[in-house]
Chain A
Amino acid sequence: QSALTQPASVSGSPGQSITISCTGTSSDVGGYNYVSWYQQHPGKAPKLMIYDVSDRPSGVSNRFSGSKSGNTASLTISGLQAEDEADYYCSSYTSSSTYVFGTGTRVTVL
């Protein structure tokens, strides 16, 4: 199972919106509404930000939103803040009943 494809880096200024893409296949992202997004700060465990494509866990800011079109899922961060600077990973359920993570995206707040 190959990793989902994410851009290596995305940057934006405070207050701006950015979008991170996550491209898979019809056997994973495109086949199921089971895409999650995680935020990871250096030296810390990941944190669930979005699950089931677009749902937010309790306590996650509504500045984070998720969507999906075909084989590509997206995470949008609006009103970018300094604390959003971190690594972000997508993941998806697959047709083999396994999970696959994305390659990861480093978000930089300029």
Chain B
Amino acid sequence: QVQLVESGGGLVKPGGSLRLSCAASGFTFSDYYMSWIRQAPGKGLEWVSYISSRTGYTNYADSVKGRFTISRDNAKNSLYLQMNSLRAEDTAVYYCARDRGTCAVDYWGQGTLVTVSS
């Protein structure tokens, strides 16, 4: 069955960096777009970024553009999110998700909490 397991979350100071990872299994990873989606405590969902299946085309929400970088390693069935210049408003649970490429995210990980605080 499809499994997505995030890691790398934690507490970081404003201005700091963090790298999230997502290990995928149960499907042909290289066939799918992948997305990162976040949810601030008590708030709604916010799409962060996606990466295409083979060409590696990427796109970002305006709120993270220039600070976050999404990448993937199809040989390792892994997705990453490099987060730099972190701000308090980046505090959220970050979900790794399988993406059909048409804004249809059909499998989600359990999420990893990122807290940005001094």
Residues of A bordering B, CB below 8 Å: 1, 3, 34-36, 38, 40, 45-48, 51-52, 57, 89, 91-93, 96-104
Question: Could you say which residues of chain B place their CB within 8 Å of the CB of A45?
Answer: 95, 108-111
Nearest Cβ on chain A to B47's Cβ, whole angstroms: 4
Q: How many residues in B have their beta carbons less than 8 Å from beta carbons of A? A: 22
List 5 additional A-B contacts (Cβ < 8 Å) besides A45-B108, A46-B45, A46-B108: A45-B109, A51-B106, A89-B44, A91-B103, A98-B60
**Of all chain A residues, which has the CB nearest B63?**
A1
Are B59's CB and A97's CB within 8 A?
yes
Residues of B bordering A, CB below 8 Å: 35, 37, 44-47, 50, 59-62, 95, 100, 102-106, 108-111
Nearest Cβ on chain B to A86's Cβ, whole angstroms: 13
CA distance A99 to B110 in the complex (A): 21
Are A89's CB and B45's CB within 8 A?
yes
Q: List 24 A-B contacts (CB under 8 A).
A: A1-B61, A34-B103, A36-B105, A40-B45, A45-B108, A45-B109, A45-B111, A46-B105, A46-B108, A47-B108, A48-B105, A51-B100, A51-B102, A51-B103, A89-B44, A89-B45, A93-B103, A96-B59, A98-B59, A99-B35, A99-B47, A101-B37, A101-B46, A104-B45
